[in-house]
Chain A
Amino acid sequence: MPLSNNKVADDGTACEANTPEEGKTMVDSLIKVVACHRHLASCVGGSTDSPHLRQELRQTRERAQKLTLSCRQHLTSRLRDKGLPEAERKDAELLWVAFSSSLELFYADMCKVFNMGNNFSLANTCALVQTGMQGDTHEVAARALSLPDLQHEGTGAQSDSVERQELSQLEQEMTQVDRTIEDMELKVNVLRWTVEARGPQNGELVSTDSASLTLMAGDEEAPGGTAERSQIFMIMVICGVAAVAVGISLSVIFLA
């Protein structure tokens, strides 16, 4: 799945997408935004909860709503088009399943954020759960909004009334997403059992992250420091090879 560099700003606002590729890109962006939103939502109520976090959540939500609208328009128009060839219909149905699943995840996360927002008010910071998180989530939000950097508006403090306003707005957005899901179900008839996945069972990434593995390995009882050991082994092998090369070159110089 070729995803462009996340720091490059794109103009993925509510523009009409007519080609299937643009539709796929929009759905991919929505999936990315939902993933980032989940990371942000997991910090609510914890030690990194702050007005900044709530603001980032709000911005991510707005972006997700915009993407939802454009995806919905695109997919509904494509799937209701009777003259669509079979292969393209299958593609569109796959996209539709991905879109509705991400909407469901998004809806679940919004419900949780709403509930936690009700329970954890930012005014009382000593009631926040000490979860061990320290850093902030600017980069995650930047990734979600596809911006190279994130500007924060306003000061840190947030009064009670502003919070309550935010929560009521969140409630409205939740009902909107719920209605979107239901509307999509009614308007477009996609039979789930006919949709088949194309990709492999196990996903693969190009780069593996061994650094966090070693940190987690130090955490576990069982010796999981194989990644660490393999790194040391590789370093030793490289040093050995370098020493052998130096030795050979010296002997060549000596003999020559």
Chain B
Amino acid sequence: MTIRNVHDCGQRHRPRVACLKKVEALVLEMQDPTSGVKSQTQRLVITTIPHALTGEDVVAWIAKRFNVDAAEGCAIGTMMVAFGYIYPLRDHKRLILKSDASLYRFQTPYFWPAQQWPVEDTDYAIYLAKRNIRKNGVLELHEQEQYNNLHKWLNHKWDFIVMQAKEQYRAGKERKKPDRVVFDCQERAYWVVHRPPPGSVSAMDLGLLRLIDPNQEESETSDYFRRIIIFTEQCIMRPRVKSSVSLGAIVKYITTYKLHDAFLSPVLPSNPWLTDDPAYWDLNSLTIDNPTRMRVERWTFSFGELLSDPRGRDGFRLFLKKEFSSENLAFWEACEAVKWGTASTIHEKAQQIYKTFLARGAPRWINIDGKTMEVTVRGLKHPHRYVLDAAQTHIYMLMKKDKYGRYLKSPVYMDYQRRATDPEAHNFTETQLAQNAKNRRPSLSPIILRQQEEEQQAKLEASGPVDLTQVMSKLDKRNMLKEGQK
């Protein structure tokens, strides 16, 4: 049975995109031969096709109709293009309305966006197959990926899809050439709206999938009352904080993080989501030598910030190595690995941690108080994901109270501050932005990134942990050398 995937995000219950009806009424108004938008003819190589509109005509008509200025008219026009009621004839991938002489055309009502019928993957597969048939290898990168995906998931229908694509292509050839061109443009525009290339903002993004009807009255059965009772009991049990205290915390957080929030202040060099330039991500990657100034500054906000940034942890590890207390950070990282790792590896990882850090006379023995040690060792008999939680918290507090303050004053951190890069802000022109949009490439696959991480981890472990016995032997050797020199 074909499962009818209704991915309309609950629109059938309470439509959020109610503006579609209004835009449709506006489009119908524009059709009026006397008071509508002036239409021109588009001249192609051999033929002419009527009913083309210029961007500036559309903007002028909208501005007059709604009595707004040109910029607002342009914004409304861009919305119409983004929804797919008007499509551009040149540069079809950028769904904006340019208020110059660039040409647009109305989309046929068959291809108008509709909420009651979700856009089917089968139709998309047929469209891509049709394009492939016409000219092999003309699909873009993301289209090819989706085509391969659909071939995997719709494999049972694939013969039908290819045959339907061929039939639609042949039926299209029965039409006259200008009509064929128009139909191809229409279909292409439809799929640019409903299957946008990755990285572009889609107007048809309906948000989270909503499974129940929010307008439906809920029947008051005993289950319902039980739920309400539990909910109210939990409300009463919640710990309460004075609003002055919580508001003070919010204000403090905002003042600290204000300059680091990409929504509130501009990002240096430039926000990749806006300018399609990945320099920001390259400068803030995990393996960079000189982190940016903003990143280094963020490490001073709290110990949690420092530990959550892998680059920050590297610096902290270096500092702790000099202070001969790197086993604390190693233990904390090992506990994180247990907490977040796969369930099958918990047992052996916990045993490894016990042998390395907790046992009496262990090579990297950590200093935790007797009670915590007792609780942890008892829990390790039946290890679960959070068995090392108490010990980890203890070590975290130890590092935070003692080492963190010293780290921020240490030469290691001062060195980071000195070497921190201050990237220049990009100032892209319109053409450069268009060029960036064209050069968008998918980034490294997360699988590859994970492999690189694991290789780095292995290298780190292979370079040898600093344990007491080795250190003592090194100190002895140095003393002997000094005595030898004397």
Contacts and interface: CB of A to CB of B under 8 A. Distances in A.
Given A31-B167, A36-B171, A196-B155, A215 B47 contact: yes
A35 B91 contact: no
A130 interface: yes
A197 B158 contact: yes
A45 B110 contact: yes
Interface residues of B, number: 75
Interface string A108-141: 1001100110011000001111111111010110
B166 interface: yes
B160 A31 contact: yes
B177 interface: yes
- Contact residues of A: prevailing secondary structure: helix
Contacts of A21: none
Contact of B162 (A38, A132, A203, A219): A203
Interface in A23-57: 28, 31-32, 34-36, 38-39, 41-48
A153 interface: no
B109 interface: yes
Interface string A100-113: 11101100100110
Given A31-B164, A97-B156, A102-B164, A143 B174 contact: yes
Given A98-B160, A119-B109, A140-B171, A133 B179 contact: yes
> 5 closest Cβ contacts across the A-B interface?
A45-B109, A197-B158, A35-B167, A139-B174, A130-B51
A39 B171 contact: yes
B181 A112 contact: no
B419 interface: no
Interface string B153-165: 0011111111111
Interface in B362-393: none
Contacts, number: 210
A192 B164 CA distance: 19
B217 interface: no
Of A41, A100, A112, which is in contact with the most chain B CB atoms at under 10 Å from its CB?
Answer: A112
A247 interface: no
Contacts of B27: 129
Contacts of B285: none
B106 A205 contact: no
Contacts of B108: 42-43, 45-46, 129, 131, 133
B156 A140 contact: no
A209 B470 CA distance: 76
Given A104-B2, A219-B90, A129 B182 contact: no
Given A134-B179, A208-B135, A219-B181, A35 B107 contact: no
A202 interface: yes
B1 interface: yes
Interface string B129-140: 100111110000
A195 interface: yes
Contacts of B107: 129, 131
Interface string A66-101: 000000000000000000000000000010011011
Contacts of A208: 134-135
A183 B148 CA distance: 32
B168 interface: yes
A94 B160 CA distance: 9
A47 B50 CA distance: 10
B406 interface: no
B342 to A, nearest CB: 28
Contacts of B51: 47, 130-132
A139 to B, nearest CB: 4
Given A97-B156, A108-B117, A219-B89, A132 B109 contact: no
A128 B92 CA distance: 24
B27 to A, nearest CB: 7
A205 B109 contact: no
Given A132-B49, A134-B50, A143-B174, A212 B155 contact: no
A140 B31 contact: no
A207 B108 CA distance: 29
B184 A34 contact: no
A202 B110 contact: no
A240 interface: no
5 contacts: A28-B163, A98-B157, A116-B110, A133-B108, A201-B158
